Every structure is written in C-alpha cells, then in structure tokens.
Structure 1
Amino acid sequence: MLLATVAWAQPKTIDKIVAQVGENIILQSEIETIYYQEASNGTVSADLRCLIMEQLITQKLLLIQAQKDSVEVTDEQVEYELERRLRYYESLFGSKEKMEEFYGKTFQEMKEEFREDIRDILLSDRMKGQIAGDITISPSEVRAFFNKIPTDSLPYFDAEVEYAQIAIVPQPTAEQKAYAREKAEGIRQRILDGDDFELLASIYSEDPGSKEIGGDLGCQTRGTFVTEFDAAAFKLQPGEISEVVATQFGYHIIRLESRQGNTACLKHILITPPVTNSNIQLATKKLDSIRAAIISGTLSFREAAAKYSDDEGSNLVGGDVTNFQNGGSMFAIDELDPEVYYAIEKLDPGEVSEIISYTSYDGKRGLRIVQLKSQSDPHRANLEDDYYRMQAAAKNEKQMQILSDWVERKLKSAYLKIDPIYDGCENIQELMRVANDVGRK
C-alpha cells in the first residue's frame, strides 16, 4: 500500500484542504508528498493521485474508528518505527551526515516532523488488522487466485533471499551507568551555577540530532517522547532545569523553554554510558556461544532469537527480518545491507553466518549472526516455488475486499467532502456516490 511509506522530502506546493472525512482533513501537500515519493521510484500511473486520495480517505476512516474503539499505540512503538525507517534511509545514503545534508534537516528534526504521520500509520494498520486481519486462506483459494492470473501477466521475480538474525547490543556495566549519571549530574550542576546550557550541550551531549543546535528539540506535544522523559519535561516551569532523567537512551538534563497547554519547547543534554572493548568482548563471547549451540543442534535459531536477541523488531518472530519496502520477508539482493549480503553470500539455506556488525533501531552499535532461511533464482511465478507468495497475495486480496466492504459501510454514516479537482477520478466519484446514497435510503 502506498501509505506504508513516509516521504522525507518533496517539492514545495501551495497547500489547501482537498478533502474532509468527518472532522479529519486531507491536505494537497499530503497527496503530493506521497506522489513524489512514488514518482522517485520510477514511472507512475496517470491516476496515482486518485489512488492516493482513496487510500488517505480510508486511513482517515480507520483513524476515526480507532479513536471510537480506544485503539492505541505506545510512544515506544512510534519511536521504534521512526528509528527503523530513518535507519533504513540512512543506510541508503551511507551515513547520517549525508542524509541530513541532502534533506537539509537534522536527524531529530526529521523524526519530529514525521512522528504524528508514523503514529497515524501504526494506528490505522492496527485498526485494519482488527477489521480484516483474522482471516485464513485455503489451498483451493490460493490455486483459484493463481489460475485467474493470465500467463503473460504472471510476475517475474529476481533472485531473492529470506533471512533471520540474532542481535546482541553490548550492555554497560553498573559502574559505567554510574559514571554516566555522575557525569550528567556534574553538567547539571555547572548549568545551575551559571554555565551556558547550549554551549555545554554542543560540547557534551551525545544526541547527534540536537547536539549541534544547542540541544534544541523544538516544540513537541505531550506523548512525543518516551514516558520517563515526557513525565519529567511536562513538570517543569519555563527556564527550569530538570533533575537527571534516566531513559533507555541514557541520562538526560532537560530545560523547558516555554509551554502552551500540551505543547512544550525543550532543550536537552544526553549522556550515554560508555561502551568499551570489554563490553564488546563480552557480547562477542555471548553471541559466539549462542551460535555454537545453534550449529550443534542443542538450540534452534528461532528459540535463540526469542530468548537472547536484542532486536525488538524480530525477536518476537523467531528472528525473522521484515523487508521495510514491501512488508514481506523476501529481499532482492540490492535491498540487503552490504554486511548481510557478504555474510550470507556463500551460505546454504539453514546455515548461520559468522558474527557481523549491527546497528539497533535507536542507533546503538552491536553484533549479530544471520541465518539464510531461503533463496530463489530469477524466475516467473509458479505455485511450486512461490506458493507462499501467492498465498499472501490471495490473502491480501481477500483482506482488501473485506476492508473495501467496511469502508463502504462507514461512508454511509460519515461526512465526506472532496475538492472538485478530483471529479475526474472514477474511484473517488464512486466513494462520493456511496456516501451520498444514504440520504436516499
């Protein structure tokens, strides 16, 4: 689905409201953002903006229902998804600095700009799962789906791989945590004694997204940050300096610049516990013993991932890694991280790599081992080699039909207004006919 991605840059456009769904509005800039993101990937269809509008209308309906049903996503889930997506784009550019230079924004500024977009995507996806997620597809349905595809329209698949990973992030010792806290306490005291907050942030802060701008986090709404940070920040008075606040990222010193209702303008200094070669050696030793247990057969890869992996995105599913681009499990060769590609290049399915480098969603450096689960040669789709792909496609078609029926029912009780510039979109006109038909029944 087009809305599975967030575009990080797009041409400037004169903005205006182009649709309203209930109390939710859709801006022209939202359409253009997604349009230019898709256009950057190659040729686009003539009706792409029509399709984007339809998907945004569906998303707004899902968000309305999510609010009614008290569906929620946590700040941690939003943070994880933001980090995961940004780390992916960082890998495309080769470094955070190159990505920031290209977009003209800091890592932190990009996170804050798209935080609410990510929250909406996660909420609508969760609501969609409640509506159409719990369905099954029988083998006969898979065959029927495959057989209705014209032979000359069967997709051609490039060589692809499927892999799983177990990641270990070196953990600081109690002494290292105590050292970091003591360092933060010392910096806080210097600020209280009159030293310049912005200068100390630029010298000592270990948050790369705000360090170079004096620790500035901008103005954010309550719930933007992890729970401990949020709670401390919104207790402050303008100009007040917080106590040292411990979070999963390290130790923070927070200053409230100003506040209006649930929006606070903040600066912070982050001190992280140092990770030394001894921490890395311990992590290497641990991961090496896990790998040995897997290879000897005393522990399965899935069991080890669930028990030991620090990668919160894959440890709940046996270490299986999801392709961010398509939401599936298969990766084209050019979609792989270079480290992963070289690690699995000479492996057979089921084999486990040597230990390689790893970066967690929150930027922490670690180690990982990778298992090659499957690989395929370039070929045209067939049921023998691609049964699970066809099963997923058939299931997706069934889910889309369920969702389409749900949207049609909801439109009959929802307010829908769309700008006349979309009058030429057949799909949008059909939605309008459904929404307006209620008055005649």
Structure 2
Amino acid sequence: MKHRICLCLPTNRACPTTITALHQEAAYAVRRFDVDVHLLILDSAAAPTRADHLRVIAALPDVPQVTVHHMDEDQQRTRLRELITSADLSSDLLDLLLPPAVSYGACTNRAFLFAAALGCRSVHRRDSDSTYQLHAGQPVFPIHHELPWLGRPAAEATAAGLRTDLDPAHAQRPVSLAGASFIGELSVDIAEIRRLDPAVYHDVVSLWAPSDWPEERKRDLVAESFTGAGTAPFTGDRSTLTLVDPMRVDMCNIAFDRAVYERVPLPPATETIGSDYFLLHLVHDATLPGILHNRHIENFHTPERRTPTGFPAYQRRFVKFLLSMRYFHHVYDRMTATGAALLDDDDRVRPDRITAFLHDSTTLDPTENIWRLDRLDTSYRKLGGRYAEFAEQLSEERDQLLTEAASDITAYADLIDAWPALIKATRT
C-alpha cells in the first residue's frame, strides 16, 4: 500500500493561484515519490471567495493519486461535532477546534485531525500569503526534501549520505520534522514600524524576549526576528539532518510526522500570531531529528492587514503574541531542561509533561506582562497616527488582554488532555 500524505492549505482569503500551485506540488510528489496525496483546503473565506476557489478546483487537471478535499467552515464544524460526540467529549471543545475568531493553531489542528482520519502519515503545511520560488523556470517545491525521510530512523538518512550534524545518540530516533524558511517580506507585518522609527521597532520587537535577557542578546534577537532566510533566491539544494532550530524554519514551509501531531496539538489561541509554532520547539527540545533544507518559500503580505479594520486587528494579534511569551518562555525553558525525557521508551512525546509545564506557567506573576503593555503603549504613541489610535484601544483592553493571555494557556492544556480521545475517534 502506498504512503498517504496530507498537503494542507488553511486559508481565509482569496488564493486561486496558491491552490493551483499546491496541486502542482502534489503532482510532483506523486511523480517523484509514488505517494497518495490528499490535498486538503480548509477554507474560511467569505462565500464569493469560496465559490471562486471551487471553480479553480473544478478546473484542475485530473492527476492519479492526488485527491482534493475542499471544506468550508460549516463542513468542518459538522465533522468536528461528529468527532467530539464519537470521542464522548464535551461539546465546549468545538470552540477550541473551530473558534469564531482567527486562530493559526486551531486551523492547523483541524488539518492534523482530518489527516489522521484520512490515514495520512504526515502533514505538509503551506500558507495562502506565500508562493514558490522559481529556479531555471521550475517551481522549487519543499516536498522534495520533506518526503524521503519523515518517520524513518535518522540513521537511515545518514547511511544514505545525507549531510548531518546530529549527535549519534539521537540517530535511532525517527525524523519527525522537515522544514525551511521564507524569503521576502518580514513574516510579521511590522516593517512599517521599522521604517518609521528603528528605535521604536527595537523596543517593540525586543518585548518577545524574556525580560531578564541582557541587552546584547535582545539586540541579536531583534536583528534576526521575522527575517526568515533573507532575500537571496534559491540556487541549489542543501539539506542537513539535525535538531532543527525553530528560528530557522517557518510554518508556511513545514512538514510533521504523524508521531508528533497525533500526540500533541498546537495552541488554539485566538487572535494571536505565532500560536502555531509550539511543535517546532517541542521537536527540537525533545531531541527528535529533523531535516533542515533551503527550499524557502517566498513570503508576501496581503493588503487587508493595512485597512482601517485590518490594521488594529493585526496589531492586536501581535500584542497578544508578545504577552503569550511570558508563559511560553517558561514552558520552553522547562522543555529544554527536560530534553529527551520528554519522550517515552518508544521515542514518542509525552503529553503529560507538556500539560504540567503549561499549568505551572499560569501561576506566574502577571507583572511582567503589565510592563510589556506599558512599553507598548509608549512605543505606539511615539509613532503617532493610527498607531497612537491603536494605543488608545490597548489602553481600553488591558485587563482583557492580560486575562486572555493566561486563559489561552489553560485552554491549550485542556486541548492536549482531550487530544488522545480525538485522535482515537478519527480511526472510526
């Protein structure tokens, strides 16, 4: 039986070109690796846009071993309700899997569940605000590096000649992740802040570092943050078997083995950028091997983030990301200290360790986040204009933001606890 994989595109915007390009990547995977590809489009866009997507899908050429699944939110909700009922879980769980607000983690969690239901061995995620590079006139598909070794012992990749800097102690563990980054615009749409006032940009971006870091380390973080792989285009393949540094990959260009995402989901936080990056840290800290390659995707920003309604909504997501780091730095520190003990005897992630760290983080003093909000208020007011207007919104929502940052962590722990039953229910 051929391996099944899930090539996934969560979207809430018009992206007909991206859908066509993903179908081409699916066909490439079939030609090169003889796999069955389930191309999964989770479509949260408005009805006219969804209709356009369906017309694009209907016009796609028939490719043997490529099956396209298009699911709008109503279809997703129906499947999820059935799944929750089958797992004998509380109906409240639906709001963590398909919340009414934007959630980067939740949309990917749905992909994980539907991929498990389809019997896929891996999920390969792309984004609708990115595109493939071209080299010699041909698209540079990341799946070229994602498929060969996922799920196989790292030692097999080394024996086949793949370049490695992996500690031999980890060689028998499965390759659990394959990824690259992006070139082009910053991954977070805050380049305007840097243009308006580089000093304010530094103050704002440095807030995602732990407060006790020395200034030099914060400066290095700011210089590196959200820049991906820079701007240099692809010229030839490079890949390394390693413990993949989360700062070197992006969720628009990532693949996970089922042994990871069927054990631990992503944080379901709403209106928060970066909520879908947790598994990158988990795979690294648990000493699970990965493939780091250079088939970077080209990133661009869509205009809605700069509209009168889109601008404050996006900036609020950025602020919530900064506040979430108060808790996630605590969890990451403990994961790093725990290392391979995050795994059981079969080299599978232990979810109970993660939930313990999450619950412990919610006991932290919120004073540090109050300080973050104070710094943000000052920074946004310095920029003036619509940034100063947003500072007024922040001032009105301070208590709500602080509460949400903490409750998002509790909700994540609750979802991890329910995840085994959900995955089991997908089998039936």
Q: Same fold, TM exceeding 0.5?
A: no
In our comparison, the structure showing a higher alpha carbon Rg is 1
TM-score, length-scaled by structure 1: 0.24
Structure with the larger RCO, 1 or 2 (CA within 8 Å, 6+ apart): 1
